[in-house]
Chain A
C-alpha cells in the first residue's frame, strides 16, 4: 500500500523558510507515470495547490507563490520536498503531499502536516 508521509518543523518564524519533506513508501518516485505535489489547506482559503514535480525535476507552481516556492525530488531517497521562502502568518496551514496520476487526479495523500508561522 503506497504511503506518503510529510515531515518537518511545525513552527516557523516569519520571514524564514518553511521546509517540508515527503517520504514515499511502496512506490518509486522515479516512475515516469506520476507527478508529485504539494497542496495546503486553511480555514480561510480552503484547498490550494502549490505545485508539482516529476522524477526528472520538471516542476509547475501556482503563480501566486511562484517567487517564493520550490519543489524538488530526490530519487535516491524516494522523497520530494517543499520550500517556501519569506513566510508570513498567511502561510500557516496544513500542508499535504500527494501523488498526481496520469489521469490528472491526486490519488494518494499524506496525512498532512500543520505548520504554524509565528514568532
Chain B
C-alpha cells in the first residue's frame, strides 16, 4: 500500500495567516493527489484534485502543488471558515489511501 504522511498533524493559526500543509507519499504517485476538508460531524469535501485543480466552488485562496512524492496544500490567507481538518489522498493505485489529517486550530 502507498503510505501517505501529512505534516504537521495539527497547526495553531491566526486569521489571515498563510498556511501550508504537506503530504508525502511512500512512492511516486504522479499527479494523483487530492485534498479534502472536513468539519466536525460532516463528510469530507473535495478541495483540490489531480494535485493542482481546484474543485468547482472552492475559493481561490486554496492552491495545490507538487509532484511525484511531495505535495502541498496552501491557504493564502486563512479565513474563519477554513478551521477544519485537511486530508490528502492518493488515487494513483488501489488501495486508495489517505493521510492522517492536519487539524487547523485558532491560536
Contact = CB atoms under 8 A, between A and B. Distances in A.
Contacts of A48: 98
B66 interface: no
A48 to B, nearest CB: 7
B95 A63 contact: yes
Contacts of B32: 104
Nearest to B87: A47
A105 B91 contact: yes
B65 to A, nearest CB: 16
B43 interface: yes
Contacts of A110: 43
Interface stretch (B15-23, B49-57, B73-81): B49-57
B3 interface: no
Interface string B26-51: 00000010101000001111100110
B49 A101 contact: yes
B43 A112 contact: yes
Contact of B98 (A47, A105, A107, A111): A47
Nearest to A47: B98
A104 B91 contact: yes
Indicate the member of B32, B50, B87, B96 with the most A CB atoms within 10 Å.
Answer: B96
Nearest to A97: B43
Interface in A43-78: 46-49, 60, 62-64
Interface of A: 46-49, 60, 62-64, 96, 98, 100-101, 103-107, 109-112
Given A49-B95, A49-B98, A106-B36, 8 more contacts: A48-B98, A49-B97, A96-B44, A103-B49, A106-B46, A107-B46, A107-B49, A109-B44
Interface of B: 1, 32, 34, 36, 42-46, 49-50, 53, 55, 87, 89, 91, 94-101
11 contacts: A46-B99, A47-B89, A103-B49, A103-B50, A103-B53, A104-B34, A105-B55, A106-B34, A106-B36, A106-B89, A107-B46
